[in-house]
Amino acid sequence: MLGSTHGTLTTDSRRARVTACGEQPAPAVHGRPAATDDLDVSGRPLYAGVPDLDRFFRPESVAVIGASDTEGRPNTGITQQLLAWAERVGARLHPVHPTRQSVFGIPCVPSVADLPEQVDLAVLLISDPLPVIEELAEAKVKFAVAFASGFAETGAEGAAAQARLTAAVERSGLRLLGPNTNLNAFEKFRDDLDGPAIALITQSGHQGRPVFTMQELGVRLSHWAPTGNEADLETADFISYFAERPEVGAIACYVEGLKDGRSFLLAADRAARRGVPVVAVKVGRTETGARTAASHTGKLTGADAVVDAAMRQYGVIRVDGLDELQDTAALLARARTHTLTTGADGVVVYSISGGTGAHFSDLATEAGLRLPRLSEDKQAELHQWIPEYLDVANPVDNGGHPVGDWRGRKIIDAILADPSVGVLICPITGPFPPMSDKLAQDLVDAAEQTDKLVCVVWGSPVGTESAYRDTLLGSSRVATFRTFANCITAVRAHLDHARFTSFYRSPFDEAPRTHSPSFRKAQALMRPGQQLSEHAAKQLLRAYGIRVPREQLVTSAAAAVRAAGLVGYPVVMKASGAQLAHKTELGLVKIGLTSASQVRDAYREMTDIARYEDVSLDGVLVCQMVEPGVEMVVGVTHDELFGPTVTVGLGGVLVEVLRDTAVRVPPFGEDQARDMLSELRGRALLDGVRGRPPADLDALVEVVLRVQRMALELDGELAELDINPLMVLPRGQGAVALDALAVCR
């Protein structure tokens, strides 16, 4: 059920699917077996089984429902392709057609019930797959592929038809790919390439073509999963499966819409635990892109900022173009064989032209790559083979790679031997034989002898040169690019992913499974379908240990004066009511009151304004005046795909103008909470500017984590929460929630 709060399957139905489909349980975590139906405190799963897709990609037997050999019929071409594929993978193929005796000389049976054996995979070449699902279930078929279109991608009527198909598949116990998919899973893959492979997942078949054709450039591909409308099998299933495959070095995805946010996060978590990089193009950054994606696949695209943050949390590398997808995935797959030791993340640029080296170095540095200055000793070593007048500090300008002797290889080996160097990049803007030919060969030979990454940018627009086609592309150790930008993007992704996986700890291991003592207190404050008053919202924060000012709610001027004396002058007075969201604009906030007369006058003025504006009040808050600090906002919203999300950013009255926020999807730990602060453009304000002291970051992080706990525990009851401003005081003094808005479901 798309858009449901707790995912696409209930716990019971999910457990039934695991049993029926032979899914592998999640691995033991911290010494205990992980059950696939473990739930966090919000009711969402903490583990997901890995579907056993071996018999999908390499079945022993295949049934083709609707097979044909009639010339000119679409099914005939598909049947021919499936015959060729079945022969390659060693599968027995059984045509199924009610009126044919044979198809391409192979005996044909009239129905699924008449199949001579139990088959692993059924390919449905029929316009309506629904009537056949029950027959496949009775025949104990494990997998089916539905090519038919006209489902959720076409609108409401098609979505209803797809819902019926999904329900039938859930009852059947088989796993379905599609509908609205194609034959990409049954393509011919080259088996003569070595090294770690790319596994490809695409919702649009055509968008995977650039990655698939990289085989012609020597890049190995192992699988292609064209998921289509994902009535059953989805992107997350294939990520989980591919992450367990030893031959897969990287997973490349083209995603139009995610079926279920938690399933995707669990799959990305599995890949992160195993250090398998996932690179994704996710359309829907703009309103137009999101609308087009929905019409194509019938999926929810979700708020793009949330999708982007969720991907970063779990190390998914998001790229924009298909060219970036292919180049980044190819480098990450090959980089699985390279070692990135601590401190060896430095990039050295080696060039036959000073101009080329300077240009590339500028772009690389601006993109965040670290180009360390080589030591004086290393420079002296390089000057044994490079003239003294050339700069070899980094970039290394050789003035022209040596052609006639061994010096060129010596230069490259000396650079790679530097302990601060993790990546060597050689930009070659155009062929200049024999120099570029010798340079290419030396780079390939050096790459074979090192565990460090060697990259080449071959900038020739022709691309037919032997040094490129034969030497560079013939090596599975060198990552070759055609543009500076794609090389830099891919190298940065590799270094970032290596750092990410080295420190990664799954947040699902520590996610809360039981309610805290705060939950019962908070639950008593909730009012279904209503917005809470500021006073009630602050009580909610108190229940979760979030500090608020000393304050009292009063209903008369005399009580306000008594409260001010108890709270302590100066005080702040604010109207409190369930429907008040922007009190400042209405004049319902008074700051810095220092006397009883000011308090009395403020009370009368605010109640008069409330009557004039026809605003219902539950009273007036008389609050402690908190010392100034950095005004932040911390909030909770509900995303259709991922459920509760937590946001932190610069707060105050200009929060909607500044729009300087970072978001995370629970569960997450302290490290991610601190990373949120690092993403803010105004982060410097927290570190102290213009003589102001640094803010109490530990207290701010603690508030974010407590708000996350609240978001999880009250997921079914809390629709929205805004703490604005949260005054973050100087280091060691804490943080105080000066105002809060809470909306109940």
pLDDT at 645: 95
Work out whether strand 278-282 and strand 175-177 pair parallel, antiparallel, or are unpaired: unpaired
The reported pLDDT for the residue numbered 296 is: 40
Burial of 529 (0-12, 13-18, 19+ CB in 10 A): exposed
Mean pLDDT of the chain, nearest integer: 90
Q: Say yes or no to pLDDT of 3 above 90.
A: no
The pLDDT of residue 4 is 31
Per-residue pLDDT at 33? 40
Q: What is the pLDDT of residue 655?
A: 76
Chain-centre distance for alpha carbon 619: 45
- Residue 289 above 60 pLDDT? no
pLDDT of residue 656: 75
User: Residue range 402-429: average pLDDT?
Assistant: 94
Question: What is the DSSP code (8-state) at residue 50?
Answer: B
Nearest C-alpha neighbor of 137 from the set 216, 233, 29, 21: 21
pLDDT exceeds cutoff 80 at 184 = yes
Across the range 521-536, mean pLDDT stands at: 94
CA distance linking residue 331 with residue 494, whole number of Å: 8
User: Per-residue pLDDT for 35 more than 80?
Assistant: no
Q: What is the pLDDT of residues 508-521, one digit of tens each?
A: 999 999 999 999 99
* Whether the Cβ atoms of residue 40 and residue 12 lie closer than 8 Å to each other: no
> Is pLDDT of 24 > 80?
no
At 20 the pLDDT is 37
pLDDT of residue 302: 46
pLDDT at 271 over 70: yes
**The pLDDT value given to residue 493:** 97
Q: Within the chain, how many helices (H) and strands (E) appear?
A: 25, 28
**How many angstroms separate the CA atoms of 646 and 351, rounded?**
46
Q: Is the pLDDT of residue 234 over 60?
A: yes
Q: Which two tokens stand for residue 458?
A: 């071959």
Q: Residue 206: what pLDDT?
A: 86
SS3 of 616-630: the string is CCCEEEEEECCCCCE
Q: How many CA atoms lie within 13 A of 97 on its CB side?
A: 20
Mean pLDDT of 368-377: 97
Condensed to tens digits (0 to 9), the pLDDT of residues 340-372 reads 554 578 999 999 999 999 999 999 999 999 999
For the cut 60, the answer to whether the pLDDT of residue 293 exceeds it is no
Percent of the chain with pLDDT over 90: 82
Q: pLDDT tens, 487-511?
A: 999 999 999 999 999 999 999 999 9
| Mean pLDDT of the 227-251 span | 97
The model carries a pTM of 0.90
Q: What is the pLDDT of residues 298-342, one digit of tens each?
A: 333 348 889 999 999 999 999 999 999 999 999 999 887 665 554
Q: What is the pLDDT of residue 343?
A: 56
* Residue 6 pLDDT > 50: no
Average pLDDT over residues 694-712: 97
> How many residues are present in the chain?
745
Angular region, 669: left φ>0, alpha ψ -120 to 50, beta rest = beta
Lowest-confidence segment of 37-51, 124-138, 318-332, 589-603 by average pLDDT: 37-51
